[in-house]
């Protein structure tokens, strides 16, 4: 009830602060014209975002050269770096064949080809451009004109979700700043609140320069050269394909792969020693948002059923992530032990996505949960109770 009142208060404040009138047709026309002028440009923008359950806001800076062949598809490149350190994160280049990316953290390359999946290609392309330039007329019409300054005017929108009792369950507030001289959207800020979980994103235009249409051949040539460079890196697509046969096909009723490994608290895990127990294994990594979202529910299950015999363990099989685990346990209040294992365990359990939960009794896999959905602990708790009560 207290949370419900808080959400309603926040909604009232947002609605009272802005949203005086719908966006005029003339303003929409000018914004769309300004956006359409960006058929070809060199641009620098900043992106900040905060996922639910994350403590810190992540920051990136894009330096992009884009030449659009139409309003959805474009050629060019994007150099992405971490804002705080300035270290390169990735290089993305696209030509008339598709999109190609190298991730410098992994030193692996990825590709999405036009001939294979046009919809996915366009989605990936638009995921790297300056988002406020992608608004359509229909989308702009959902905003209202808000506050104004000498230099900017703001378009604002508030979206809410309600449950069956018509109580507000989430609020999302979006604000777009429009340059009053050029009508170019110079930023877009979004804040979402669902229960105690907050999500935040910001796109901020830093600098831009228009390109002449005659620049198309030069942009295409440079994009082709960058793609040739990207393709010298090992292909993650090829690695995934080659590893496909390594993953065991696992289903309920199969025997769980027996393994032993160290625990991060200094103890030792041995699945063979727990063959008579009800066991839950949670495969995760520390920056996986759904894995983080599952933590409170897993903590609750561990607290409720551990004294009754439940054995619950987190499983981290990424040596590049092991240094992050102690802080993950400490900062996020993980109550159950975490196993420090290797990729072979991932292959043996057929884990291709995270989180992946296995419910095991007497060494037999009873249930597999793919990903995380809020409220999953109720179904999982009922299953654990049933398994604990049966021989």
Q: Could you tell me if 108 and 255 lie in one domain?
A: no
pLDDT(143) > 50: yes
Tell which of 240, 269, 285 closes a domain. Answer: 240
pLDDT tens by residue, 161-172: 877 778 777 788
CB 53 within 8 A of CB 293: yes
pLDDT at 2: 43
Looking at the fold, whether 281 and 213 belong to one and the same domain comes out as no
Sign (positive or negative) of CA dihedral 181, 182, 184, 187: negative
Give the range with max mean pLDDT: 37-51, 65-79, 299-313: 299-313
- Confidence band (pLDDT; 50, 70, 90) for 196? low
Exposure letters 226-247 (e unless 16+ CB within 10 A, then b): bbeebeebebbeeeeeeeeeee
Helices and strands, counts by H and E, the chain: 10, 19
- Of residues 198 and 185, the one with the higher pLDDT is 185
Same domain, 36 and 138: yes
Question: Are 255 and 236 contained in the same domain?
Answer: no
Q: Which of 155-164, 220-229, 358-367 has the lowest mean pLDDT?
A: 155-164
**Boundary (domain end) residue, out of 210, 240, 270:** 240
**What CATH number corresponds to the domain at position 93?**
2.50.20
> What pLDDT score does 79 carry?
95
Please give the model's pTM, rounded to 2 decimal places: 0.64
The residue assigned the tokens 């993953």 is 247
Same-domain pairing of 292 and 332: yes
- In DSSP notation, 148-199 reads E-SSEEEEEEEEEEE-TT--EEEEEEEEEEEETTT--EEEEEEEEEETTEEE
What is the average pLDDT value for the chain, to the nearest integer? 88
Alpha carbons 80 and 91: distance in angstroms, whole number: 6
For residues 194 and 304, membership in a common domain is answered with: no
Q: The tokens of 103 are what?
A: 């991730």
Q: Is 24 helix (H, G, I), strand (E, B) or coil?
A: coil
Clarify whether residues 376 and 356 are in a common domain: yes
How many structural domains compose the chain?
2
Q: How far apart are CA 123 and CA 3, in angstroms?
A: 36
Condensed to tens digits (0 to 9), the pLDDT of residues 11-35 reads 545 544 444 568 899 999 999 999 9
Residues 320 and 209 in one domain: no
Please write the tens of the pLDDT for every residue from 321-342.
899 999 999 989 999 999 999 9
Residues 46 and 173 in one domain: yes
Answer whether residue 368 shows pLDDT above 90: yes
Rounded to whole angstroms, the Cα distance separating 275 from 311 reads 11
pLDDT(198) > 90: no
pLDDT at 382 over 90: yes
For residues 228 and 255, membership in a common domain is answered with no
Examine the domain organization and report whether 130 and 7 are in the same domain.
yes
Digit-coded pLDDT (tens) for 62-78: 999 999 877 678 899 99
Most confidently modeled of 6-10, 16-20, 270-274?
Answer: 270-274
pLDDT at 236: 85
Residue 291 belongs to domain spanning: 248-389
> Does the pLDDT of residue 284 top 50, yes or no?
yes
CA gap 260, 246 in Å, rounded: 19
What pLDDT was estimated at residue 275?
83
Domain end call among 240, 267, 294: 240
DSSP secondary structure string for all residues of 203-237: EEEEEEEE--GGGHHHHHHHHHHHHHHHTTSPBHH
d(CA 149, CA 330): 45
Residues 6+ apart with CB under 8 A from 375: 297
Element (H, E) at 368: strand 364-370
Say whether pLDDT at 247 is over 80. Answer: yes
For the chain, the first-to-last Cα distance in angstroms comes to: 42
pLDDT of residue 4: 46
Mean pLDDT across 259-286: 93
331 with 252: CB under 8 angstroms?
A: no
* Same domain? 377 vs 266: yes
At 13, list the tokens.
């404040």
- Which of 351, 335, 334 lies closest to 259, judged by CA? 351
pLDDT grade, residue 38 (50/70/90)? Answer: confident
Judge whether 286 and 328 are in contact, CB under 8 Å: yes
pLDDT at 276: 86
Determine the pLDDT at residue 1: 41
The band of 56, judged by pLDDT with boundaries at 50, 70 and 90, is low
């Amino acid at each position: 009830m207290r949370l419900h009142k808080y959400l309603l208060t926040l909604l009232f404040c947002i609605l009272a602060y802005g949203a005086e009138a719908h966006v005029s047709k003339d303003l929409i026309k000018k914004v769309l014209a300004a956006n359409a002028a960006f058929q070809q440009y060199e641009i620098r923008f900043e992106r900040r975002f905060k996922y639910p359950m994350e403590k810190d806001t992540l920051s990136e800076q894009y330096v992009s050269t884009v030449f659009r062949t139409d309003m959805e598809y474009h050629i060019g490149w994007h150099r992405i770096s971490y804002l705080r350190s300035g270290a390169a994160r990735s290089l993305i280049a696209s030509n008339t064949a598709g999109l190609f990316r190298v991730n410098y953290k992994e030193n692996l390359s990825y590709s999405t080809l036009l001939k294979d999946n046009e919809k996915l290609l366009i989605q990936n392309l638009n995921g790297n451009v300056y988002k406020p330039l992608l608004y359509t007329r229909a989308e702009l019409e959902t905003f209202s004109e808000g506050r104004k300054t000498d230099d900017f005017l703001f378009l604002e929108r508030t979206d809410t979700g309600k449950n069956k009792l018509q109580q507000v369950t989430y609020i999302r507030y979006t604000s777009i700043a429009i340059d009053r001289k050029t009508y170019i959207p110079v930023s877009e800020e979004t804040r979402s609140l669902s229960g105690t979980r907050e999500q935040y994103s910001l796109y901020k235009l830093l600098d831009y320069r228009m390109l002449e249409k005659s620049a198309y051949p030069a942009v295409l040539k440079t994009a082709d050269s960058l793609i040739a460079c990207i393709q010298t890196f090992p292909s993650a697509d090829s690695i995934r394909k080659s590893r496909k046969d390594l993953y065991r096909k696992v289903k309920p009723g199969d025997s769980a792969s027996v393994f032993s490994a160290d625990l991060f608290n200094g103890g030792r895990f041995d699945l063979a020693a727990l063959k008579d127990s009800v066991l839950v294994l949670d495969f995760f990594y520390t920056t996986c948002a759904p894995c983080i979202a599952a933590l409170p529910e897993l903590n609750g299950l561990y607290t409720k059923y551990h004294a009754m015999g439940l054995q619950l363990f987190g499983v981290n099989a990424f040596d590049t992530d092991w240094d992050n685990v102690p802080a993950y346990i400490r900062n996020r209040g993980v109550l159950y032990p975490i196993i420090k294992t290797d990729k072979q365990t991932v292959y043996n359990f057929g884990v291709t996505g995270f989180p992946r939960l296995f419910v095991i009794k007497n060494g037999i896999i009873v249930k597999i949960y793919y990903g995380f959905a809020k409220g999953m602990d109720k179904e999982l708790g009922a299953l654990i109770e049933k398994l604990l009560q049966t021989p």
